[in-house]
Structure 1
Amino acid sequence: MRSDPLPWRRQGRAAFTTLLGAFALSACTTTIVESPAAPAAPAAVPAPSVPMGQQWLYGSAEGAISVRQTYSQLTAYALAKAKARPADSVIIDETTGKPFACGDKPLAAVFDADETLIWNIGPMRWFALTGKEFDAKTWDQWEKTGTGKAVAMPGALEAMAALRAAGITPIANTNRSAVNAAGSEQTLAAAGLGAFKHGETLFLMGDDATGSSKDQRRATIAARWCVIAMAGDQLGDFRNGFNKPEQPPLARRTLATAAPYDGLWGNGWFLFANPVYGPSIRGGYDDIFPAETHWEPQQ
């Protein structure tokens, strides 16, 4: 037999055939490579629950009815007083302790603005969502840009219309900032409450040097007007002396409901409920629950 002069060629062909088969097999085989698992979506953080005070004041039928009743009582009282033409204002002169005389001054009724003429639902919702009771920077923005978002309190529109028709001018005395006077004028007007003009029928914190105390502003108003009714949601809307921080809650209550102030509530002074904020929202167990009232169930 003739020997093959090129044995390496046969070996090469065999090796090539083997390699080609392996390549074909690999081409027919699908390799599955698992992708890393996608990160799980973060769990949704539930919104904080609405504070109970806001639920009652801004959402409940009871809150709306309470406000409307107070406005109805105020309106009836003011209209009756306008016919009788009182000798004295319901604003007390803090220097003498006596009411300002009316003389022949035009008739007026004085209102706080926030939670008295309007409900500030916009920022109160934001404070609740962010877990804040109050933030001065946020409130400053609200005073400037909240036009159209505040709502007139139940009965307020009807009361303003009735007072004006009877010749009684509504005046707002509020601790909104004088720097933001234009925003407050626009907010009250957009809520349907009519025109309030800074320096004439709108008085603001910063109008004098006494800060958040409204006593001097009340004196300024009483010098121009015969005020026959006054309304607010805080005792400081009637007299700043009720808001001394050293007074425990029950002592403060005793002061505000004793003579000579006891006869003014519902009789010239009209208080709107506000369980959301202000000096009334304070006190510990010993402040609120006198020792003689303590009780515990038997085990």
Structure 2
Amino acid sequence: MQRIFKALALAGWALTMAGCAQSMTGGEPSAAPAPAITLESAAPDSMRWLYGSGEAAGVSIQTWRMLADYAESVTRGPAPARSVAMGLPQNVADGVGTVSCRRADGTAKPLAIVFDVDETVILNEGYEYFLATGNTYSRETWEMWERIGAAQVSPVPGAVTGLRRLRAAGVTPVFNTNRQYSPEGAARAIAMAGLGEAVHRETLFLRGDDGTDSGDKDGRRALIAERYCVIALAGDNLGDFADIFNDDTRGVQARRTLAARGDYAQLWGQGWFAFPNPVYGDSITGTIGEVYPETHRWKPGTPRSDAPAIMNEGQ
């Protein structure tokens, strides 16, 4: 998870201005205080959906079931020759390469699936409550959360059963997170959510473990692939699959097209598994003009036109 929070559209946070009547002395209109945020206040829409809705739970369970089914099918077939495609630009020119599933001595590497942590295997409900009640994200509060917040996380719906199925099939879950302040805190959060043991630099990799102070994950994926035959990747952000998607020069629609067409489109559900996160991250960037191309801007009176071609996945 890229721990960068975008502006949150929190209902009730905007100041409600007083009427335009002025005092007899001609003073400026005074501003009414912002309404207090209480447990009865409406939570932000994105938070309500991810942390409170049955729909979000259903989507997560569905994804976990698909992932476990996929992993079990791989274990029943011939041993994979190479890992799933992932961000290993040193291997191929297009930035999404694979690694041999055999060691230098010819022996097979153990099978693994690489997971993001936050909002992929655990839900940071305690910290999101802190934000929803009128506080703002800061490095200091997030560091404190990493260290001591394990008791206030929950497993993503479907994760407990999904990870149990993977381990029973002989597939090792490996966690690749952009948490950076406390390996012990990350392992504790995973364990307290009922998701089993995670060992730092064996089955748990944090930002900095590849020797760089970067939120990019390609370097850590390369380290993991040296030890394991990685048969799948799972996360809530495209950067959990390959850093090529994090190129800042690529606009919103170009990033979407890159993920939704051609070879990358073929990977979703076939080695790449995405979990929903409408609360924060690179997926919720974009102005109105960037999200809605000129050809898709409608208003009453817009001349009729032919329907645009559907996305041509895999072409």
Is 1:247 equivalent to 2:250 in the alignment? yes
Structure 1 residues 105 and 124: alpha-carbon distance in aligned structure 2, compared to 1, 3 A threshold: same
Q: Paired residue for 1:219, among 222, 236, 247? A: 222
Q: Which runs of 5+ in 1 are unaligned?
A: 1-41
The residue number in structure 2 matching 1:45 is 36
Higher helix share: 1
The letter of the residue matching 1:67 is: S
Distance 1:71 1:217 in 2: 23
Structure with larger Rg:
1
Q: Does structure 2 conserve the Cα–Cα contact (< 8 Å) formed by 1:91 and 1:218?
A: no
May I ask how many residue pairs the two structures share in their alignment? 256
Deviation string, structure 1 residues 100-138 (Cα, Å, up to 9, x no partner): 111210011110000000000111111121253x32111
Residues in 2 aligned to 1:281 and 1:76: alpha-carbon distance in whole angstroms: 29
User: Cα distance, 1:260 vs. partner?
Assistant: 2.5
Matches within 5 A, 1:70-219: 70-84=63-77, 85-92=79-86, 93-97=88-92, 98-103=97-102, 104-132=108-136, 134-177=137-180, 179-210=181-212, 211-219=214-222
Residue 258 of structure 1 pairs with residue 258 of structure 2: no
Residue 209 (structure 1) shift:
3.0
SS in 2 for 1:172: strand
CA contact (8 A) 1:91 1:219 kept: no
Please point out which of 49, 52, 59 is paired with 1:59. Answer: 52
Separation in structure 2 between the aligned mates of residue 169 and residue 58 of structure 1, nearest angstrom: 27
Supply the AA of the counterpart residue of 2:152. Answer: K
TM-score (norm 1): 0.82
**1:234, 1:164 → 2: CA distance?**
24
CA contact (8 A) 2:37 2:133 kept: no
Query: 2:116 is matched by which residue type in structure 1?
Result: D
1:56–1:63 contact (8 Å) kept in structure 2 = yes
CA distance in 2, matches of 1:229, 1:142: 29
| Alignment RMSD | 1.8
Structure with the higher strand share, 1 or 2: 1
Runs of at least 4 residues off by over 4 Å: none
Residues 188, 194 of structure 1: 8 Å contact kept? yes
Q: 1:70 to 1:246 in 2, by over 3 A?
A: same
Unpaired stretches in structure 2, ≥5 consecutive residues = 1-32, 103-107, 302-315
How many Å apart are 1:44 and its aligned residue? 7.3
Partners of 1:239 and 1:170 in 2: CA distance: 18
Q: Quick one: which amino acid aligns to residue 186 of structure 1?
A: R
Rounded to whole Å, the distance in 2 between the matches of 1:295 and 1:258 is 25
The percentage of counterpart residues that share the same residue type is: 45
Partner amino acid for 2:90?
T
